[in-house]
A and B are shown apart, each in its own frame.
Chain A
């Protein structure tokens, strides 16, 4: 099969690293060659962050480039819009609707665009938007936004529930596993 590309985008500190590692373990379990490219260091401090996950028979480059992302899983609408040009022609965006203002917006130097989801759709993107924060909070912790998003995204993949559960269990620390499984379920059915 040709290599599939996933991008996880968000704000530094939102938990995209864990999401990418769950995906990595899932895909490894399904027998694919996998590469995951992470961000460490400076931009983690509340900056725009992007993680790439690629899988297929044989994966070379660790990064996803413009026009290539089959999926963009986004923690924040503005970040989904920022990386829009990376979406493949038939790609899909799964985004949290929770807005996080960047510093230029907080200081009044820039404006947060209104109705970003509508604007992305108007630009031709296929967008599935939902409130992942409420789902995560309902599951027991706002920190589980990452797993709620993965739950929602799981609808669009052909992997079994068991495969997702295994990936969660091999990635998430045991004391958080029940809460995260719940966030995954709620996200999937939200």
Chain B
């Protein structure tokens, strides 16, 4: 039975994978890829899990594939950096049953630390990559990816981007087909990648690429759409296709590439022959453009279009302005209603009211500690007024950066500024623990603060190995952070409640002064968790308030200053009591 519905791109991928018979999925959450796995987890007849990081997840999927079932894993673009190791050699071993990996890029960096283009990974590892341009294609391509994986004996990358992952459009679904697991086939020459075997596998990879190029020439994933306008031909893929059609309409001639690695040769030549001139329109790097030029075909691309940020219909329209087109462009008449007659203050994201990280960041900021940060909600601790973080690089880098920084102090003058690093519970499990082992092994004296809010926060509340719950919220194994740190050989391990500023103060001053490695676990569940009950909002006693603004230093969005003194927004305040500890005049009162 087929059914037409509005679906988020990520949900459509999940439905496509499910209908294609996926049985095992393992992922680490990362915006914009997270919902694929969350939606898959709603199908209780398959196995899904959150893994501590992308490399682990990918290898779990590999094992399941060898074990004979279609398997899957999802990650954001930077996650593929972590999972690159298994990817490159899995290209050599190939798979058992089909294996599909979603990698979600984030042009425009809506929720990421860089704007890398994951198509380079497909090229470098020599595995096929598909790129859908809307939810319908998300569904279809997820299914096609499994077919290609099994037909060509390779893992397959399915590249998404924010605008595809997080846009809803119409999808027609068909339902789950029959699942017939394969038998595990022992094959040492194929799966034991020691030099002798790997040497024999490499030519197989090269032959496979040639076969895939053949496939690309006629695959329905690539479509040559010749319109009445032949002066100009556009080559594009993904969302860029949607912008091009929006601007140029049905009359334009477009070569739409759904298989973005490997790219076809003859198909591109045929298209080039059919049009007078070529423009490649692609977000981020000139991957298709370079390929076209390698074929000896002249084209425009990054000489016209930017390398940075995401595209839009206006951007495409503006740049193509002089190009011949048949589309009806609404964008060509810009409005004169542009701005109000006043500066508009920015509205950056902020740490939530009652965020458990706030008390610890306040303490670090007050003590002028130099803080090496990590990836998560708590990166917002770098924003004013707390401004408590000096660096944010990648997952797990807080612990290691601090260790290296400390060693640099032995050379040159250095200053006497105390140092520490902060890392969330999920990020610590992801790749912080290996850094901590390094510091412990090499006798470093870092102060490592684990901001344990008992959830993976930024990506929207996923469980992790420290929460004691699995992907379905059911009881699971629970990693004991204190015991883990002690097992590494660290004796100074202490737990503080970040809602208690005196406790934070004592821990930070004592541990940063200590001459050995110490771990402070700042523990308090995220205030947004459904299981966390808010306390009654605080009230301001206007008679006591002297407008000293001490309570404003923590940047709680629930507190503001008026001419009559501090005001607390009782729809936002969750009664954490941190502000009250800063008021020397007892003006902030806890309600009974």
Contact = CB atoms under 8 A, between A and B. Distances in A.
A46 B352 contact: yes
Considering residues A33, A47, A61, which has the most beta carbons from chain B within 10 angstroms of its beta carbon? Answer: A61
Given A40-B32, A41-B32, A46-B350, A107 B342 contact: no
A43 interface: yes
Interface in B100-116: 110-111
Given A40-B32, A103-B384, A24 B6 contact: yes
Interface string B361-396: 000000000000000010010011100000000000
What is the interface of chain B mostly: helix, strand, loop, or mixed?
A: loop
A79 B344 CA distance: 9
A147 interface: no
Given A46-B557, A102-B345, A119 B313 contact: no
Contacts of B530: none
Contacts of B313: 60-61, 63, 65
Contacts of A62: 134, 163, 167, 169, 239, 242
Contacts of A79: 347
A41 B330 CA distance: 31
B143 to A, nearest CB: 22
A178 interface: no
A59 interface: yes
B265 interface: no
Contact of A103 (B167, B342, B555, B561): B555
Contacts of A106: 552, 555, 557, 559-561
Nearest to B328: A2
Contacts of A2: 328, 330
Interface string A100-135: 011111111111110010011011110000000000
Contact of B31 (A12, A40, A60, A124): A40
B170 A142 contact: no
A155 interface: no
B503 interface: no
B142 to A, nearest CB: 19
B349 to A, nearest CB: 3
Contacts of A108: 561
Contacts of A25: 6
Interface in A34-91: 34-48, 59-63, 65-68, 78-79, 81-82, 84-85, 87-89, 91
A178 B343 CA distance: 41
Nearest to A46: B350
Nearest to A106: B560
A82 to B, nearest CB: 5
Given A107-B384, A110-B345, A60 B243 contact: yes
Contacts of A148: none
B497 interface: no
Given A45-B351, A109-B384, A111-B345, A34 B561 contact: no
Contacts of B406: none
A120 B314 contact: no
B31 A42 contact: yes
B592 interface: no
B478 to A, nearest CB: 27
Given A43-B111, A48-B347, A61 B242 contact: yes
Interface in B327-353: 328, 330-331, 333-352
Given A25-B6, A35-B168, A43 B163 contact: no
A61 B163 CA distance: 9
Interface string A4-41: 00000001100000000100110010000111111111
A122 B338 CA distance: 11
A12 B345 CA distance: 16
Contact of B166 (A39, A68, A81, A102): A39
Contacts of A107: 384-385, 552, 555
Contact of A66 (B314, B352, B384): B314
A106 B330 CA distance: 39
Interface string B556-567: 010111000000
Contacts of A67: 314, 330-331, 333-335
B123 interface: no
Contacts of B459: 41
B562 to A, nearest CB: 11
Considering residues B31, B245, B346, B560, which has the most beta carbons from chain A within 10 angstroms of its beta carbon? Answer: B346
Given A68-B330, A113-B343, A113-B344, A40 B460 contact: yes
B344 A81 contact: yes
B448 interface: no
Contacts of A39: 110, 166
B227 to A, nearest CB: 14
12 contacts: A2-B330, A12-B349, A38-B167, A38-B168, A39-B110, A42-B31, A65-B314, A84-B337, A85-B338, A103-B383, A106-B552, A122-B340
Top 4 A-B pairs, shortest CB-CB distance: A41-B111, A47-B349, A110-B345, A41-B31
Given A34-B170, A60-B313, A85-B338, 17 more contacts: A11-B347, A37-B167, A38-B166, A41-B459, A45-B349, A46-B352, A47-B350, A60-B243, A60-B245, A67-B331, A78-B344, A84-B340, A102-B346, A103-B350, A103-B383, A116-B340, A124-B336
Interface of A: 2-3, 11-12, 21, 24-25, 28, 33-48, 59-63, 65-68, 78-79, 81-82, 84-85, 87-89, 91, 101-113, 116, 119-120, 122-125, 142
